[in-house]
Structure 1
Amino acid sequence: MTPFQYERAATAPDAVRMASNSASAKYLGGGTNLVDLMRETIETPERLVDVSGLSRTIETRPDGSLLIGAAATNTALASDLTVRRDFPLLARAILAGASGQIRNMATVGGNILQRTRCAYFYDDAARCNKREPGAGCDALDGFNRIHAILGASPACVATHPSDMCVALVALDAVVHLEGANGTRRIPLADLHRLPEGRPDIETVLQPHELITAVEIPALSFARRSTYRKVRDRASYAFALVSVGAALDLSEDGSVRDIRLALGGVAHKPWRALKAEDALRGQPATEANFRAAAEAELTDAAPLRDNAFKVELARRTITAVLSELKGDAA
C-alpha cells in the first residue's frame, strides 16, 4: 500500500478544502471498497479525507420524501422503519448487497461510488482501460460471464456492482453534492457514465466533489415495490441480473404508473425507461410484462459467455412485475 496522509473532516466544506490540497485525494467513508483497491495498488491516493463523521441522518420530510445523510451506514438505512414500510424496495436491495459486517461499515455515499468487481480490473497482469486508459480490455475476449449486455462499448464491458443504487435509480433519487464551486443536486440516474471511450471516468462528479446526501422524493405507490437479485449463490455474491420495481395499478387492472431498474447488466444502474413506457396504460398481464422486458432488451449486445443474461433479465422482470401485480390483487 502506498503511503498517504490522513485527515478527518468535521463538515462537508472542510472535507472539500482538505481534498483540494492534493490532486489524488480520496474521500474515505466505511472503506469497504477503497481500502481493498489501495491494498491492490489500483488506487494510490496521497491523501485520505475521512468523511465518516458527516451526516448520518435519515429524515422523513412532511411531504413524504426522505433525506439520507451520505455517511449513514447501509445497515442503518435498511433497518430504518420508515424505509422498510414506505420504500421496501430499498431495504431489500441493501440486504441483498453484502454481508452484515460490510453493511455495518459501508456508507450510502461510498456504496454509490464503489467501483466495478470485474476480475480484469483487479488483475494488474490484464489489460484494462478502466485501470489504465488505452491499454485495451481483456474481458472482451476473456471470461465475460458477469459482464454487461447493455450500454457497453469496445473500451469496457464491466458492470456496476451496487444493489442499493438500482433501488435508488428506480425511486428517482437525487444526489446532493458539495464542491469547490458550491452545492448542486443531480438525479442519481445521471451520476454514473456509460463507458464509451473513457471507462476510467465513471461519474460526472467534478474534482473533489463530495456526495453529502441522497434525497428520495415521495412516491405514492412505493410501498408496492420489491427487489429481486439473481446470483450464483445465496449470499455475498454480485448480481448476474437484478430487478427493482414499484407498480401502481388502476381499478381496471391496467398499469397507471411504474418504476423499473436493472442491475448486473450495465456499466451503471440501468433505468428501464423503454419498459416503463411500454407498460403505462396497458393491462397488467404477464404477456405485457414480457413484451415490455423484450422492448427494454432490444439493444442488448451479449458477449460469448453472458448471452444467458438476456433471457434471465426478461424472465426476472416478468416475474417481479407479476409478483407485484399479485400483491395488488
Structure 2
Amino acid sequence: MKPFDLIKTTDPKHALLQKKEQVQYIAGGTNLVDLMKKNIQVPDTLLDVTEALGHRIDKQGKAVQIGAMARNTTVATDAMILRDFPLIAKAVLAGASPQIRNMASTAGNLLQRTRCPYFYDVTTACNKRKPGSGCSAYEGQNRMSAVVGYSTDCVAVHPSDLCVGLAALDAEVHVFGKDQKKSVIPFEEFHRLPGNTPHLDNNLPEHALITSIEIPENPFDKNCAYLKVRDRDSYSFALVSVAAALHLDGDRIIDARLASGGVAHKPWRWRDAEQFLRGKSATAATFGEAARLIVGDLKPLTHNGFKIDMLKGAVETALGQCLHV
C-alpha cells in the first residue's frame, strides 16, 4: 500500500475546503482500504470525516433522516427503523459481516464501488478503473455481471444491499456542497448507468458530501421482504437480490414496491411490475405474472443466463414472503 497522510476534521466546511487532487475522504473505510491495498485508489492524503458528519437517526415530520455516519449496525437495530421501515433493516442485515456492518457508514454504503473481479485486477482492462481501456468482463467471465442497463463499456453491478431497500422506498440523498449550499438528490437519480462513462458511479457533485439519507413515510411497514441469492450464506455479494413490499387491503394489493441488486450498475427498480401488481389479488399466480414481466426483456451475457430464472424465482419468493411476516 502506498504511504499516506491522515488528517481528521470535525467541520464539514473544512473537509470540503481540503478536497484536492489525491485527497480522499474516509469514514468507515470498509471499501476504501481494500481499494488502497489493491492500488486501485492511491491517495496521498486521507481526510477522516467521521466526526464531521452526523450519525443520528431522527424523525423529521413524516420522514426519517439517517445521518451519513450512522453505522450499518445502528441502522439495522434502530427501534424506529425496525418499526416503520423494516425493509431497510432486512436489507442491511443481508449485507457483509457483523464486523463490517459495525464499521461501515450509511453514506459510505452508497459510495462503495463494484466488486467486479476485473475492476480489482489491475493487470486487466477495465473502463471503470481506467477509462478507455476496455471492459474485460463483457466477453470474459461475466457470471456476476449485469443483465439489464449495461453497455459494451461496462457490465459491472452495484454491490450494496442497503441501496436496494432505499431505492424501493423512494429515499432521498441530502448533500452539502463546497458553495455551502444544501441540495437533495432523489435516490433513483443518485447512481448512474454505465453508458460510455462507467468510471462515474453516481451523481454526487464534485466537492460535495452526503450529510444524510431521508426515507419518506410509507405504508410498507407490515408486508415486506428482502431476499438475497448468493453463493454462500454470509459475507457474499448478491447474484440477485429482491426488495419487495406490499400495501394490502385484505388480499388486494393497493401499492407495491420491487427493486433488485446484482442485476445492474445501480439498484434497479421494477416499475412496470409494480404497476401490474396494483389492484390485483395477492396470489401466487399474480406474483408469477409480475416475475415473468420483469424477466421478459432481460439480456443476459455469455455466462450469466442463469440469472433470469434465478431472478424470476427470487421475485416470486420475495413477494410470497411479504404475506408471511
TM-score class, shorter-chain normalisation, is: over 0.9
**Counterpart-to-counterpart distance in 2, 1:304 and 1:325:** 36
Equivalent residue for 2:282? 284
Equivalent residue for 1:11? 11
**Alignment pair present for 1:238 and 2:248:** no
**Counterpart-to-counterpart distance in 2, 1:5 and 1:268:** 32
Equivalent residue for 1:86? 84
Aligned length: 323
**Counterpart-to-counterpart distance in 1, 2:216 and 2:24:** 29
**Counterpart-to-counterpart distance in 2, 1:236 and 1:279:** 33
Q: Report the residue type matching 1:215 in the other structure.
A: E
**Counterpart-to-counterpart distance in 1, 2:24 and 2:288:** 43
**Counterpart-to-counterpart distance in 2, 1:213 and 1:9:** 18
Map 1:1-329 to 2 at 5 A.
Answer: 1-19=1-19, 22-53=20-51, 54-63=53-62, 65-181=63-179, 182-251=181-250, 253-327=251-325
How far apart are residue 277 of structure 1 and its match? 1.2
How far apart are residue 296 of structure 1 and its match? 2.3
Secondary structure at the counterpart of residue 318 of structure 1 = helix
Give % identity.
Answer: 48
Deviations 1:274-327 (A, max 9, x none): 111111122222222222222222331101111111111111111111221344
**Are the counterparts in 2 of residues 25 and 208 from structure 1 also a CA contact under 8 Å?**
no
Secondary structure at the counterpart of residue 325 of structure 1 = coil
Superposition TM-score, scaled by structure 2 size? 0.96
How far apart are residue 62 of structure 1 and its match? 4.3
Gap change, CA 1:41 and 1:275, over 3 Å in 2: same
**Counterpart-to-counterpart distance in 1, 2:269 and 2:33:** 29
**Are the counterparts in 2 of residues 40 and 122 from structure 1 also a CA contact under 8 Å?**
yes
Q: Report the residue type matching 2:5 in the other structure.
A: Q
**Counterpart-to-counterpart distance in 2, 1:208 and 1:46:** 17
Deviates more, 1:232-241 or 1:6-15: 6-15
Structure 1 gaps, min length 5: none
Q: Report the residue type matching 1:239 in the other structure.
A: A
Deviates more, 1:3-12 or 1:40-49: 3-12
Deviations 1:242-268 (A, max 9, x none): 1111101123x2210011110111100
Structure 2 gaps, min length 5: none
**Counterpart-to-counterpart distance in 1, 2:205 and 2:220:** 34
**Counterpart-to-counterpart distance in 1, 2:293 and 2:23:** 42
Q: Report the residue type matching 1:76 in the other structure.
A: T
Runs of 4+ in 1 over 3 A off after TM superposition: none
**Are the counterparts in 1 of residues 127 and 199 from structure 2 also a CA contact under 8 Å?**
yes
Q: Report the residue type matching 1:109 in the other structure.
A: A
Q: Report the residue type matching 1:35 in the other structure.
A: V
**Counterpart-to-counterpart distance in 1, 2:18 and 2:81:** 33
CA RMSD after TM alignment: 1.3
How far apart are residue 60 of structure 1 and its match? 2.2
